[in-house]
Amino acid sequence: MKRSATEWLRAITAMLPSLSPGGSTLRTIIITVSLLIASNVFMTFAWYAHLRNLAYRPWYVAAFVSWGIALFEYMLQVPANRIGFHQLSLAQLKIIQEVVTLAVFVPFALFYMHQPLKMNFVWAGLCLVGAVFFIFR
C-alpha cells in the first residue's frame, strides 16, 4: 500500500508523543538518527551540490537555491534534535550528528561529486569512532 506524504507525516507525528523522557532509548536513537540522516542528505546538497550544478551561475542564485534546500534540512534536523534530547545529552547529539555527516558526505563526495577516495576520509572516520567511544562511555 502506497502512502501519501501527508499519511507519512501523520504516522511520524503519531510516534512523537511516545518519545517522552521515560520512553525507549533505542527507539529514540533510531528515530533521531534516521531524521538526521535524511536531514544531512539535504544539508550536503545545499552546501555542496551548487559547486557542480550551478557552477556557472551567479553566487546569489546558488545561495537562494541552497537556502531553499536547507529549509527541508532544518525541517528534519530540528525535530531530530528535539526528539533525541529526551534521551541523549547535547554532546551525544553533536557526536551523532558528526558521524552522520561524515557517513553522508563520503558517498556524496565519491559518487555525486566524483572526488577520489582519500585516506583522510578513513582517518576522520577513525577519529569519530574515538569520539563516539568517549562521549558514550
pLDDT tens column, 78-136: 999 999 998 999 999 999 999 999 999 999 999 999 999 989 889 988 998 898 888 88
Read off the DSSP letter of residue 116.
P
Global pTM reads: 0.78
pLDDT of residue 22: 57
* Kind and range of the H or E run holding 127: helix 119-136
pLDDT at res. 13: 60
68 or 7: which leads in pLDDT: 68
Residue 18 scores a pLDDT above 60: no
Instruction: Produce one character per residue of 41-71: b if its CB has 16 or more CB atoms within 10 Å, e if not.
Output: bbbbbbebbbeeeeeeeeeeebeebbeebbe
Residue 16: the pLDDT is 55
